[in-house]
Chain A
Amino acid sequence: MKILLVEDDREAASYLLQALDEAGHVTHHATDGETGYAMASDMDYDVLIIDRMLPRRDGLSIIESLRAEGNKTPVLILSALGEVDDRVTGLRSGGDDYLTKPYAFSELLARVEILARRSNPLENTNIFQVGTLTLDRLSRKVKRDGKEILLQPREFRLLEYLMKHSGQVVTRTMLLENVWDYHFDPQTNVIDVHISRLRAKIDKGFEPALLRTIRGAGYMINDS
């Protein structure tokens, strides 16, 4: 997919460009706010990655201008400001996701890929399916091989989020933010325990295993 990176730190940018390239994405780069804004409004990108503090024009004002022009390209904001208030102002300006520096590349990649596919019509479907696992958002029923699986409400939301992004890596922080609405890093492996409980319910006794752990990144549900 086509990505625009607006980042003034050249070293961080060149590392990101290389890593995104290895992940199979075409990435353009702008080193200041004005150029970044011009490129974003002239060309079609799938995702914009915009640093919050940029020379010549700050990131949030770029996003506001783009949104005012009707440009709906998903934006991931990168920022050294990580407090809840900062995040709120970032998202309020029209950003779609917010990542605090320093971050793991796997975290950034997972978020970018989810943002890029956000515009697909999955948002409006009521039944998710991965292999023989189905989840019905209306009747709130989960079935594997036709057999109904009973899930706690929170487990249901966890599985719903994973299946909505099936085939994509979902990080622990993303789960914590989207399923529990928490914005801090726990010191314990609290998410892993939830995942292993969910796995025991949907994968135990079935073939193949659908919910996989992606080392160093997070989790992914897919049928392969």
Chain B
Amino acid sequence: MTAKPRFLRLWRTTTFRLTAIFILIFVLASISLLAFMAYQSSIQIQRSQAQAILREINELKRLEKRRSIRAVANAVQNLARRPGKGIYYLGDNQGRMLVGNFSSFPRNVLLRDGIYTIDYKQELVFFDNDNRKRKKGYALIYSIGLNDGFRLIVGRDIVERRGYTAIIFRGFLFGVIGIVILSLITGGLTAMRVLRRIDIISNTSEKIMTGNLSERIPVTKRNDEFDRLATSLNNMLDRIEQLMIGLKEVSDNVAHDLKTPLTRMRNKAEAALRKGASDKDRIRALEENIKESDQLIKIFNALLLIARIKAGTPSGSFKQFDVNEVVNDIADLYSPLAEEEGYELETKISGSMIIIANRELIMQALVNLLENAIKYAGGGEQKNIKIFLATREINDRVEIEVADNGRGIPKKDIERATERFVRLEKSRSDPGFGLGLALVKAVAKLHNGQLILRDNQPGLRAIISLPKGKN
């Protein structure tokens, strides 16, 4: 992996991006919530101020009705002098202010009754503070005509309301910035931690790629998702290593078992080319070479078949068929040969036994077991050797058995007998190439079954045990 700037790598991690997306969503949600709250509260403030204005107007109107316009003028003057944000005006029908603290209203306010909001310059009319700068003002006002053309205007400055909203927003801004920074830090830290774990895994796989196959990903005690990933990767690596070791053993054996016949062939060809060789010698050498190469081809075919089975043939090749029929056919094919060799071949089957499997491969496996029995059962002290072919159902399994009462396999060799190219010492001199049982084992494994070798006391029992397929 090429080293990229740390930040760029951080940005490319899923954790970090998720954090960023969450922050964005959070900020948007908070802004809309706050905007809603500010809007609601400003409406509320405006409403309560409008009510206060209305109350004062009603009060003044009642004063006019009960007393006189003069009393109203006195009251307005008093109100206007009071410190606060109140706007008061009492004018005549010519639009001239009699009393009040503010007069520069737009024209229509002085002509028609109603509720208005106006922009104005705050003047020295307010006594609430010593800071007498002219400020921009914003007010809600009520204009109402009284008897004899007098006009009363009462208002409230509502800059206050805006200040309130601004405060809320400022507080909120600090909060959001704080949260964003905090989440960026935590998101970054988490992403960095994840990145570190992943770096460990990729470093390990790099080491493995350079050839150190025994390297493993460290597993922590936390048992988190990375540990689970590491464990399953390690298990996979174990399996690969096993396969590699197996492959190496096989290739060593292949090299040995194939080199021998190849050397023989070469020697024979060379001998045939010698000057003194007669035509008869040459013909014999060529015939022997053909025989040797046929044998080599058979070895390769068997190896390829095993490799293909181990890689797993497509399950489409599985069909439903009667094993007992196959056993009968094979017994029929082989019983003359068995008799010729001095054995008795017997079948112990009854009825039909339907399984779902690859028919050709099961047949091949059975033939291999039977040919092994015919080849190796004899030669011991045992006389009257019998070979049995049997099938049986045990619970949810089907067993196909080839048993003999011949010389068998020594206990210590049973384990090794199914490996590729292993020929037990006694059979070194016999024809064959030590792939028969390996193939049977591979076939059994392909069907999720197994090959079991047992001592038949005397002799050997080879059992292909398969799970019964679903019908």
Which residues of A come within 8 Å of B, CB atoms?
Answer: 82-85, 102, 104, 154, 180, 182-190, 193-194, 197, 216
Contact = CB atoms under 8 A, between A and B. Distances in A.
A190 B308 contact: no
13 contacts: A82-B301, A83-B313, A84-B317, A84-B360, A85-B314, A102-B297, A182-B333, A184-B360, A185-B301, A186-B367, A187-B436, A188-B375, A190-B337
Contact of B298 (A104, A185, A193): A185
Counting chain B CB atoms within 10 Å of each CB, the highest count among A185, A188, A193 belongs to: A188
Contacts of B363: 182, 184
Contacts of B329: 180
Interface string B283-299: 00001001000100110
Given A180-B329, A184-B363, 4 more contacts: A83-B308, A187-B431, A189-B337, A190-B337
A104 B290 contact: yes
B371 interface: yes
Contacts of B308: 83
Interface in B291-331: 294, 297-298, 301, 305, 308, 313-314, 317, 329
Contact of B333 (A83, A180, A216): A180
A-B complex: 3 closest residue pairs judged by Cβ atoms:
A193-B336, A193-B337, A84-B360
Given A84-B360, A104-B294, A197 B336 contact: yes
Counting chain B CB atoms within 10 Å of each CB, the highest count among A104, A182, A189 belongs to: A182
Interface string B331-355: 0111011001000000000000000
A180 B334 CA distance: 11
A184 B333 CA distance: 13
A188 B337 CA distance: 9
A83 B313 CA distance: 10
A187 B432 contact: yes
B234 interface: no
Contacts of A182: 333, 363
Nearest to A198: B336
Contacts of A183: 360
Contacts of B334: 190
A83 B358 CA distance: 12
Contacts of B340: 193
A56 B120 CA distance: 93
B340 to A, nearest CB: 5
Interface in B65-120: none
Contacts of A85: 313-314, 317
A184 B364 contact: yes
B301 A188 contact: no
A71 B334 CA distance: 41
B252 to A, nearest CB: 23
A182 B359 CA distance: 11
B374 interface: yes
Contacts of B313: 83, 85
Contacts of A154: 332
A190 B333 contact: yes
Nearest to A215: B287
Interface string B428-440: 0001100010000
A104 B305 CA distance: 20
Nearest to A153: B332
A111 B340 CA distance: 30
A190 B297 CA distance: 19
A187 B301 contact: no
A215 B297 CA distance: 20
Nearest to A188: B371
A216 B336 CA distance: 22
Contacts of B337: 188-190, 193
Given A84-B360, A102-B297, A193-B336, A184 B317 contact: no
Given A104-B294, A186-B367, A187-B431, A194 B317 contact: no
Given A180-B329, A187-B298, A187-B431, A194 B336 contact: yes
Contacts of A83: 305, 308, 313
A85 B319 CA distance: 12
B97 to A, nearest CB: 108
A179 B415 CA distance: 37
B22 to A, nearest CB: 54
B436 to A, nearest CB: 8
B287 A184 contact: no
Contacts of B367: 184, 186
A182 to B, nearest CB: 7
Nearest to B431: A187
Contacts of A193: 336-337, 340
Nearest to A83: B308
Contacts of B317: 84-85
A2 to B, nearest CB: 29
A193 B313 CA distance: 34
Contacts of B371: 186-188
A18 B337 CA distance: 38
B389 to A, nearest CB: 15
A188 B374 contact: yes
Nearest to B334: A190
A59 to B, nearest CB: 21
Contacts of A102: 297
A184 B334 CA distance: 14
A154 B360 CA distance: 20
Interface in B352-406: 360, 363-364, 367, 371, 374-375
